[in-house]
Amino acid sequence: MTQNPVRVLLLEQIHPDAEAILTSAGFEVESVSRALDEDELVERVAGVNLLGLRSKTQVTARVLDAAPDLVGIGAFCIGTNQIDLDAASERGITVFNAPFSNTRSVVELAIAEIISMTRRMTEKNALMHAGVWDKSAEGAHEVRGRTLGIIGYGNIGTQLSVLAENLGMKVLFYDTADKLALGNARRCISLAELLAQADVLTLHVDGRPSNKNLFGEAEFAQMRPGSLFLNLSRGFVVDYAALRRHIQAGHIAGAAVDVFPKEPKGRGDEFVSELRGLDNVILTPHIGGSTEEAQQDIGRFVAGKFRDFVLDGATAMSVNLPGLALPQAPDTSRLILIHRNVPGVMATVNGVFAEHKVNVEAQLLGTRGEYGYVVTDVDASLTAEMLDELRALPETVRLRVL
């Protein structure tokens, strides 16, 4: 690290357990309750070693240029599309996220919304608050026996599949990757096959750019008349103007949406959407993972990754660099080298050790795309001359000494 103590900046109301874990590791932690825009972040990141954020703060190449001491970024959420991963890798910055911690919370929200829309509870609730007693079974159904279609059969999609089956639903799913079907769920070979059969359709895809505008006019038109639609994944994957048209036409009977292409920056800001004011439409402010349990788990998980990364060089489950964890040999010094993945680089690195009469006690290498990550324990004191030689290698992206 470039300074002592390690400086950490946490944004967007990250759970207090994260700060407690990092503070107990000897790190200096500053917490900010809101997201920062690019200009604000550029002003704040100088001297910061670890940056933690959620979904609203955008980490651009410009931000990274203003943070020469930054070695790690933690997305305290599932998605990492708010971070320029290529720019981070080029600068030797390791990125972590929390791919599992809020899965249950998102799934429970989806189940609640499916039941609420199927029973048309939103409309009954609005009428009751308006003083209207409308006791009627018209348009209300049980979820048992209905078909749930899941687009994206990852961590959330698979757990939703299991719980939906326990409610008596038939489950179909579509995913571009080969996935093992759980329980009695059945994979559809095409999106069209899924749309033609689902009474309830729910999206659980990731934030990769290729998913932009995944679901629009053509897809809504293929859905069954009277079906329900949910999106708890990413706002930019759906054409919401098309969804509004199909709801107003009566083709889609209801919708539940938790994510939007443009979301307000903070609590209390005005929310603008073409979906406001529609009957049997549930709108929630990106709270799929916003339970106290999920936020605590996320805080603990990513903070633990930060701690292990700084103290031991462990990168297990890193988003952008090889995931490694090597127990440190006793009485050794540890070096962490991020390098360009080119032939012969390790021979060059170990040649520097040999030239300086340094014996390698343990070494672990992993590569991922254009980059390699190597952890090396040596049995001798590290001289400034040797470290300078390693840093000067054309293949070196970043060298850390623990």
- How far apart are alpha carbons 322 and 349 in whole angstroms? 18
Q: Angle CA(74)–CA(78)–CA(82) in degrees, nearest 5?
A: 65
What are the residue numbers of the active site? 234, 263, 286
Q: Angle CA(334)–CA(338)–CA(343) in degrees, nearest 5?
A: 115
Helix axes 292-312, 103-118, angle to 10 degrees: 160
Q: Which residue is it, tokens 């299991």?
A: 162
Q: Which candidate, 280, 248, 346, places its Cα nearest to that of 114?
A: 280
Q: What six digits make up the tokens of 242?
A: 């098309």
Give yes or no for a contact between 33 and 12, defined as CB atoms under 8 angstroms apart.
yes
The letter for the amino acid at 89 is: S
- How far apart are alpha carbons 231 and 248 in whole angstroms? 18
**In 13-138, beta strands by DSSP E:** 28-31, 50-53, 72-75, 94-96
- How far apart are alpha carbons 27 and 8 in whole angstroms? 7
In sequence order, what DSSP letters do the residues of 10-42 get, joined into one string? Answer: E-S---HHHHHHHHHTT-EEEE-SS---HHHHH
Euclidean distance between the first and the last CA atom of the chain, given in angstroms as a whole number: 8
The letter for the amino acid at 88 is: A
**In 129-199, beta strands by DSSP E:** 147-151, 170-174, 186-187
Based on its alpha-carbon atoms, the radius of gyration of the chain, rounded to whole angstroms, reads 25
